[in-house]
Copies of this chain bind each other. A is one copy, B any other.
Amino acid sequence: MVKLQGFQTLTNVDKALKDWLGAWSTKKPQQVALPLVDVCGRILAEDVIAMDDLPCFDRSAMDGYAVRFQDSIDASQSSPVKLEVIETGEVAVGQAKQVWTGSPLPKGADAVIMLEDTNREGNILEIYGPLTPCINIIRHGEDVKKGQLIAKEGTRLNPYNVGLAAALGYSTLRVYQKPVIAILATGNEVVAVGTQVGEHQVFDSNKIILSAMCQELGAETINFGIVKDNIEEISEKISQALKVADALITTGGTSVGGLDLVPDAVNRIGKPGIIAHGLALRPAMPTGVAVLNDKPVMILSGNPVASIIGFEVFGRPAICRLLGLNKTEQHLTLKAKLARRVSSVLGRKTYVRVLVKLEASELIVEPVSVKGPSAISTMTQSNGYVVIHENCEGLKEGEIVLVQMFGNIEVDA
């Protein structure tokens, strides 16, 4: 049996991603109209346009009295202006009408004076200074103008744009159906979580992690189980998965070892098959990407951290596209100071796991001590990635770096 002596060449990560994303069709998912209470976090399938001004009438911004500002021009502390408080009708010259925060502004009025700046005896109101026009009034259309774009197709809904749609009278919004991602683990040594582990066996923790990562992005997942290192069985499972899911993630079996059969299994099924396999990426070099039935297939490492990084690099943009997002949603990126030097290998894009801390209101980036790509604890001890470009050979202590945050920063409270 002839063995490949490692990967012959490693593909540049950006090139692999571009080629892969170009090898399957971009089509927007099916849509569904949902009530507003169910749309937060979903991807908008329509442009949301203001059907009217918001507010659609002038409102008082304060508890107080609606008046005509010109009546107040001569008012002063020593010589207050006296106005007649009316209960109904329009506010005429010399009149005032009580309003509460949010009340519609009575006709005739063009200013609101705050309750605490007035004195009232019976139906006589005293005011002690001049008002400017429109003071304490929320103007018709101040928040949003009719016809204004509120939220754009292909963006993710949050509490605030959903709230704005509600204020404008929307009761449902059209969102995209969630894509379904099948996840298949491979490996003779892998056993399902919740079962009994034998000697030299390991639990299928990758599936737990990758499912959770897919779900965090807003996709649904199907557990396609665990398959032994057998090319026929692997092919069979992959074919089944692609019948029911929008995309497939496999874990394990993707190095160049004799039992690393997933890329061969993929190529056996159809065209174009493997787009790239063996990447200039650390960790996660044995990652592969493929397309079958116009659906993306991500062939991730069996090593947990390598599978996580492979997912970040390829799974995230693919799933964002399947969700209907107009662009890839990255982790929130911040800038902070590197506490120690970090080494990397020239020609490899490197994902360094780091812990960002807030120390004396300074953001400090601690690289998490490097263990192999199987050490999940390096993920639980970190909250971000520093990505080192292929052209860089490490980063210096004290350098200001961009950090992609996947977790929160501990703040003493």
Q: Which residues of A contact B (CB under 8 A)?
A: 3, 5-6, 35-37, 40, 54-55, 57, 59, 61, 63, 98, 100-104, 114-116, 138, 142-144, 150-151, 158-164, 166-172, 187, 189, 193-194, 197, 199-200, 202-206, 208-213, 215-216, 223, 252, 255-260, 302-304, 308, 327-330, 332-336, 358, 361-363, 371-372, 374-377, 379-380, 402, 405, 407-409, 411, 413
Measured CA separation A386–B100 after assembly (Å): 30
Partner of A208, one of B5, B37, B115: B37
Q: Which residues on the B side are within 8 Å of A189 (C-beta)?
A: 102-103
Q: Given the complex, which residues of B lie within 8 Å of A169, measured CB to CB?
A: 197, 203
A151 to B212 alpha-carbon distance, docked (Å): 17
Report the separation of the CA atoms of residues A101 and B362 in the bound assembly, to the nearest whole angstrom.
41
Distance A393 CA – B313 CA, assembled complex (angstroms): 45
Best-surrounded residue of A194, A260, A377 (most CB of chain B within 10 A): A377
Query: Which chain B positions have C-beta within 8 A of A213?
Result: 159
- CB nearest neighbor in B for A61: B372
Contact A162 B212 (CB under 8 A): yes
CB atoms of A411 and B358 under 8 A apart: no
Q: Which residue of B lies closest to A195 (CB)?
A: B171
The CA of A379 and the CA of B374, in the complex, are separated in Å by 42
Contacts of A151 in B (CB 8 A): 380
Interchain CB contact (< 8 A) of A376 among B143, B257, B374? B143
- B-side contacts of A215, CB under 8 Å: 40
The residue in chain B whose Cβ has the minimal distance to the Cβ of A252 is B102
Given A335-B363, A376-B160, A376-B167: A260 in contact with B100 (beta carbons within 8 A): yes
A168 CA to B377 CA in the complex, in Å? 11
Interface residue from B100, B143, B161, B375 paired with A257 (Cβ < 8 Å): B100
Find out whether the CB atom of A204 lies under 8 angstroms from the CB atom of B166. Answer: yes
Q: With CB as the reference atom, state the residue of chain B lying closest to A163.
A: B209
When C-beta atoms are compared, the residue in chain B nearest to A105 turns out to be B200
Chain B hits for A335, CB < 8 A? 334-336, 361-363
A164 touches B115 (CB 8 A): no
Which residues on B sit within 8 Å (CB–CB) of A332? 332, 334, 405, 408-409
The smallest C-beta distance from A152 to any residue of chain B, in angstroms, reads 11
- When the two chains form their complex, are residues B216 and A159 in contact, meaning their CB atoms are under 8 A apart? yes
Contacts of A161 in B (CB 8 A): 380
Structural contact, A159 and B102, CB atoms closer than 8 A:
no
Q: Is the CB of B333 within 8 A of A162?
A: no
CB < 8 Å: which of B40, B170, B206, B327 contacts A212?
B40
**Interchain Cβ contacts under 8 Å between A and B, 12 examples:** A6-B115, A6-B116, A36-B194, A57-B200, A102-B302, A142-B371, A143-B376, A159-B216, A164-B380, A166-B205, A169-B197, A172-B194
Set of chain B residues within 8 Å of A371, measured between Cβ atoms: 142-143
